Structure 1
Amino acid sequence: MSTTRSRYTQTRSSTISDDQIADLIYKLQQLIPDDQIHTTTLHHHKALNTKVLEETCNYVRRLQREVEDLSQRLSELLQSMDNNSPEAAIIRTLLMSP
């Protein structure tokens, strides 16, 4: 059980902040080659790229929340189980697999 708790704590502490995400979006935008985009459509492509990046970040945030929620639920489930039960052994095996 303590292994599950420490994993949950590691997951929570490795969550990146909104400022870090904004910085990553900026850096990714800098990687988009401007010379490959026509001048007349430059604003449209940048807006589209920004939207795609923002949606990607929102999706990653949702996934992080789901992982945190599932980690918490698994931790609670393991705490309520008999440590020697076959179900607990299966869950531990699944958690330990790469």
Structure 2
Amino acid sequence: MSNRREGVSRITEDEINELILELQALLPNSSTSRCNSRVTTSKILKKTCNYIKKMHKEVDNLSDRLSALVASGNINEIDADVIRRLLQHV
């Protein structure tokens, strides 16, 4: 039986810790201080997942509102074109 992990680089614990700190820094209202060891990796990952879910919902809501605005015809054609192009990238 061959080892499936052959040729796969392994991530070190230090690299994981650095990535966790980067995630923590991206979260709003989070302390990026290395001295703050009270926040566990698990909590940071949970907060990150919740934040991403929240951002997805916000993007969906804004997209729906913009689509409704375009459909209502209450905007000029130039603005409607800009909004359509933005919505294509979502």
TM-score normalised to the size of structure 1?
A: 0.45
Structure ranking higher on relative contact order (CA contacts 8 Å, 6+ apart): 1
Structure in which a larger fraction of residues adopt helix: 1
